[in-house]
């Protein structure tokens, strides 16, 4: 009887009461799934459906447009992550692959989206004729081209600056290549990669207008989305609709910042490379606290974490490759590989030269070279000015995690702000004061690209080891010496990653930044971007190819002669590399 009574009194204490947060979480998850299903229904509709590509300025349609745009952005983000893990890892681990892939990445980030969007539209529409899904894939691909490159550069930089003692530890523990990748390389790259994911989402917003308003020949389609809404509002000069679109964009950015990126940034902080716990703990975001309080979400995330940990612990039979920079060269193999690459590049250049010889005069080539120099001066001046402003600001924010979390949504909104919304006030300002477009249109080139520098510097400064920060405080290292010997070398690899991407993005943005219009007033600066824009409007395909080819040459040469040697120097000077 005593045993029975004890069981009866203790049983109710073990019974779990229903958690109200579980019901709320379940409703939110079901609501999100219903919203995604509603948006996907329009994605797979036929093109001849009345509402498939129809856009209206009705404010009540903005939530649906925001849903469709957000779905495209996250689809492109998934493709960018897959590309980053495959591309950056291969480039970092194979010296021969890196010799081809990194210049290829320079080319890809420098080719203007407007230069190849028409080809991708025709390709995807050919895969799904008469379906909205073909246009959706073309739009997602355009957004992908504005997201993937800086993420790949960030992970490549992290993989090539792994701390030597951690690499030796993986060898001592006899980790396989698969285990080393998931237990060392991915965690070490995670802080910078997460910040670049945040920036990539903002970069996608910058090009969303061009990606959702699709033109092929004489046909024009506008996919339901905020970008198409903004384009229509600018055409009709509806200022109220423009402000409503900006408000919707700001709410969407705030939502996914709070629900996704802020928890991701906090989670990535546990992968900071340090040997002490000197840094003061920062309270978790409210979403992480809610996850721990909600039984269903905590169970789901824990199960997902166990699955990922189990996959990372597998000893898969992958080749164990040492870092590319540490592997001795093989002369015969390198000669054959180099000869093959030179032959392929030479054949491509010969075909391109033959095409230009039949369609382009030598004077056109000289003109494009001169215009490229004008754009080069603008890009260099704007990148230098942005670096002077955002490097100190990024270090200051990165060393203050609580302040970074407060500023993060505002920075994301500014980075996502479409530059073409600022064209009208710039045009009015330049015309009113009689200023030179060659100078005053230049800031438009870095409005969307300067944030690459800021985000990468914030990521590097926030990942600065706490033990080193404590040592510099104890030794009273400050001022210029602190920048030269401590923080400068620590953030230099990440800064170069951001500057390379910002420079390539500025060249890309020159097409829309060197030509600005509002109503009947049109301004143009002398430069390669304006040349490509004029050739695109005129349908002059040979000069479009000439302008894009010249832009690629400028970007690749600058990266090879300036940025890449600086990146190697930064990797050697890294404070904890």
Structure-model confidence comparison of residues 316 and 105, the more confident one: 105
Residues 19-23: what's their mean pLDDT? 67
Handedness of CA 172, 178, 181, 187 (dihedral sign): negative
Residue 118: per-residue pLDDT: 63
Residues 481-486: what's their mean pLDDT? 84
Task: Flag whether pLDDT at 359 surpasses 70.
Answer: yes
Task: Flag whether pLDDT at 4 surpasses 80.
Answer: no
Task: Flag whether pLDDT at 301 surpasses 90.
Answer: no
H helix runs in 417-464, sequence order: 423-433, 437-440, 450-462
Q: Which of 442, 437, 563 is nearest to 507 (CA)?
A: 442
Instruction: Give whole-number Cα distances, 565 to 87, 89, 140, 324, 501, in Å.
Output: 21, 20, 34, 16, 16
Task: Flag whether pLDDT at 377 surpasses 90.
Answer: yes
Structure-model confidence comparison of residues 316 and 266, the more confident one: 266
Percent with pLDDT over 90 in the chain: 6
Q: How many CB atoms lie within 10 A of CB 432?
A: 8
Whether the CB-CB separation of 227 and 249 falls below 8 Å is answered with no
Cα 257 to Cα 160: distance, rounded to the nearest angstrom: 29
Residues 266-272: what's their mean pLDDT? 76
User: What are phi and psi for residue 205, nearest 5 degrees?
Assistant: -65, -35
Longest Cα pair distance anywhere in the chain, in angstroms?
106
Task: Flag whether pLDDT at 281 surpasses 70.
Answer: no
Cα 89 to Cα 152: distance, rounded to the nearest angstrom: 9
Task: Flag whether pLDDT at 258 surpasses 60.
Answer: yes
Q: Which of 102, 281, 263, 297 is nearest to 194 (CA)?
A: 263
Q: Which of 21, 66, 73 is nearest to 287 (CA)?
A: 21
Q: What does pTM read for this prediction?
A: 0.74
Whether the CB-CB separation of 106 and 85 falls below 8 Å is answered with no
Residues 511-531: what's their mean pLDDT? 78
In this prediction, residue 3 has a pLDDT band, given cuts at 50, 70 and 90, of: very low
Structure-model confidence comparison of residues 96 and 379, the more confident one: 379
Task: Flag whether pLDDT at 14 surpasses 70.
Answer: no
Residue 416: per-residue pLDDT: 66
Contacts (Cβ under 8 Å, ≥6 apart) of 399: 461, 462, 464, 469
Q: Which of 135, 136, 155 is nearest to 86 (CA)?
A: 155
The pairing of strands 521-524 and 515-518 is antiparallel
Contacts (Cβ under 8 Å, ≥6 apart) of 420: 209, 230, 234, 512
Cα 54 to Cα 34: distance, rounded to the nearest angstrom: 22
The length of the chain is: 577
Residue 476: per-residue pLDDT: 82
Residues 227-250: what's their mean pLDDT? 82
Residue 32: per-residue pLDDT: 76
Q: Give me the residues paired with residue 518 across strands.
A: 521
Q: What is the pLDDT of residues 318-355, one digit of tens each?
A: 555 444 444 455 567 667 766 776 777 778 778 777 77
Residue 324: per-residue pLDDT: 46
H helix runs in 475-527, sequence order: 479-482, 488-513
In this prediction, residue 362 has a pLDDT band, given cuts at 50, 70 and 90, of: confident
Task: Flag whether pLDDT at 146 surpasses 90.
Answer: no
> Three-state SS for 262?
helix
Task: Flag whether pLDDT at 256 surpasses 80.
Answer: yes
Structure-model confidence comparison of residues 25 and 411, the more confident one: 411
Task: Flag whether pLDDT at 123 surpasses 50.
Answer: yes
Task: Flag whether pLDDT at 283 surpasses 70.
Answer: no
In this prediction, residue 99 has a pLDDT band, given cuts at 50, 70 and 90, of: confident
Q: What is the pLDDT of residues 109-122, one digit of tens each?
A: 766 665 566 667 77
Residue 337: per-residue pLDDT: 65
Task: Flag whether pLDDT at 81 surpasses 90.
Answer: yes
In this prediction, residue 80 has a pLDDT band, given cuts at 50, 70 and 90, of: very high
DSSP 340-397: HHHHHHHHHHHHHHHHHHHH--HHHHHHHHHHHHHHHHHHHHHHHHHHHHHHHHHHHH
């Amino acid at each position: 009887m005593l045993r029975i009574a004890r069981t009866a009194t203790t049983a109710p204490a073990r019974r779990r009461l229903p958690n109200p947060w579980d019901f709320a979480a379940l409703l939110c998850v079901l609501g999100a799934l219903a919203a995604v299903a509603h948006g996907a229904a329009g994605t797979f509709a036929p093109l001849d459906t009345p509402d498939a590509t129809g856009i209206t300025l009705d404010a009540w349609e903005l939530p649906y447009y925001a849903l469709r745009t957000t779905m495209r952005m996250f689809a492109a983000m998934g493709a960018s992550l897959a590309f980053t893990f495959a591309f950056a890892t291969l480039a970092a681990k194979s010296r021969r692959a890196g010799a081809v892939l990194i210049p290829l990445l320079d080319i890809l980030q420098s080719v203007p989206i407007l230069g190849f969007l028409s080809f991708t539209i025709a390709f995807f529409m050919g895969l799904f004729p008469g379906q909205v899904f073909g246009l959706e894939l073309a739009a997602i691909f355009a957004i992908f081209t504005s997201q993937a490159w800086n993420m790949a550069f960030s992970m490549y930089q992290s993989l090539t600056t792994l701390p030597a003692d951690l690499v030796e530890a993986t060898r001592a523990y006899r980790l396989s290549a698969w285990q080393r990748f998931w237990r060392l390389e991915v965690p070490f790259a995670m802080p910078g990669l997460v910040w670049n994911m945040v920036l990539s989402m903002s970069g996608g917003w910058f090009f969303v207008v061009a990606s959702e308003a699709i033109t092929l020949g004489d046909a024009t389609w506008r996919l339901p989305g905020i970008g198409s809404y903004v384009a229509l509002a600018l055409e009709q000069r509806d200022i109220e609709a423009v402000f409503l679109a900006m408000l919707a964009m700001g709410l969407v950015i705030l939502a996914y910042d709070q629900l996704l990126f802020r928890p991701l940034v906090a989670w990535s902080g546990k992968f900071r490379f340090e040997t002490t716990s000197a840094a003061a703990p920062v309270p978790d975001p409210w979403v992480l606290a809610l996850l721990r309080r909600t039984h269903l979400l905590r169970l789901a995330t824990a199960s997902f974490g166990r699955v990922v940990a189990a996959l990372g612990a597998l000893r898969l039979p992958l080749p164990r490759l040492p870092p590319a920079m540490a592997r001795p060269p093989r002369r015969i193999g390198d000669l054959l590989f180099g000869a093959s690459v030179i032959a392929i590049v030479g054949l491509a250049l010969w075909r391109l030269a033959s095409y230009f010889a039949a369609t382009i005069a030598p004077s056109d080539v000289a003109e494009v070279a001169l215009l490229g120099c004008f754009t080069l001066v603008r890009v260099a001046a704007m990148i230098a000015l942005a670096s002077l402003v955002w490097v100190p600001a990024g270090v200051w924010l990165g060393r203050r995690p609580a302040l970074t979390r407060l500023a993060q949504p505002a920075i994301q909104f500014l980075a996502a702000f479409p530059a073409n919304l600022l064209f009208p006030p710039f045009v009015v300002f330049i015309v009113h004061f009689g200023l030179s477009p060659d100078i005053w249109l230049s800031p438009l080139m870095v409005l969307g690209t300067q944030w690459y520098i800021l985000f990468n510097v914030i990521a590097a400064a926030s990942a600065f080891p706490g033990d080193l920060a404590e040592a510099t405080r104890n030794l009273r290292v400050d001022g210029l010496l602190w920048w030269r010997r401590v923080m400068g070398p620590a953030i230099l690899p990440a800064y170069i990653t951001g500057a390379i991407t910002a420079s390539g993005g500025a060249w890309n943005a020159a097409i829309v930044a060197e030509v600005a219009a509002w109503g009947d007033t049109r301004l143009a600066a002398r430069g390669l971007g304006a040349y490509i824009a004029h050739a695109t409007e005129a349908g002059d395909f040979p000069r479009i190819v000439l302008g894009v080819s010249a832009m690629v040459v400028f970007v690749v040469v600058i990266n090879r002669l300036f940025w890449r040697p600086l990146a190697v120097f930064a990797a050697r000077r890294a404070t904890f590399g």
